[in-house]
Amino acid sequence: MKNLFIASTSTIFGGEYLDYLLPQLQLHFKGCKTILFIPYASPGGISHTDYTFKVNLAFAKINKKVIGLHEFENPIEALKNAEAIFTGGGNTFLLVHQLYKNKVMHVLQQVIENGTPYLGCSAGSNITGISMQNTNDMPIIYPESFKTLAAIPFNLNPHYLDADLQSKHMGETRETRIKEFHAFNNEPVLGLREGSWLEVKGEKIILKGTLTARLFKQKEIPIEIESGTDLNTVI
């Protein structure tokens, strides 16, 4: 049975890394002593070692040990034997490139399907969708494929921002960019606002947090989804 925690962000304004999620993560990773961390997204070019150290400091607050996937000679076996898995944020193009380069995308998909507890934040959440095509990141490297884990039957746009009518910014809004996506693709897209997350238990996909999420479907008017909704009822 799938067991995922899919967060828009690892840090909310003014908070420490993962702090706002730790009470929920203590329950999500109950019974797990060690979490396998996938540091491939490397935010800001941080090294895998330094990124893993940062994550370890956060999870130490709930008595969990973190080991980076880069520390293993055989990442495939490491994923198959993991008690739990966390994929951190950063650049989604880089993350997906590294997952394919190290031949672990399909292995990760398999262990998630088999019930290994999974946490994704930002880029690590992007990859739980059908494809990574609704990432906000710059294409700094070309991945083998845009296809990702398909652990949920739609795509995500983490860090979703509503249009600011007072702003003088003349670029595209998130909604405009998602409409551009739907000119060529028919996968639904969920705009996940900061501080919101999805809990996936088996086939149930429940929106959590205090905010609504915005659901986009091809050739349909976007709708707001209330916290507590099972996304399967609206997709």
Catalogue the active-site residues. Answer: 122, 137, 159
Residue (of 87, 104, 71, 106) closest to 156 by Cα position:
87
Are 100 and 141 contacting, i.e. CB atoms less than 8 angstroms apart?
A: no
The conformation of residue 131, written as its DSSP 8-state character, comes to: B
Task: Enumerate residues 6+ apart whose C-beta is below 8 A from 148.
Answer: 96, 105, 126, 127, 128, 129, 130, 131, 132
CA 132-218-137 angle, to 5 degrees, is 25
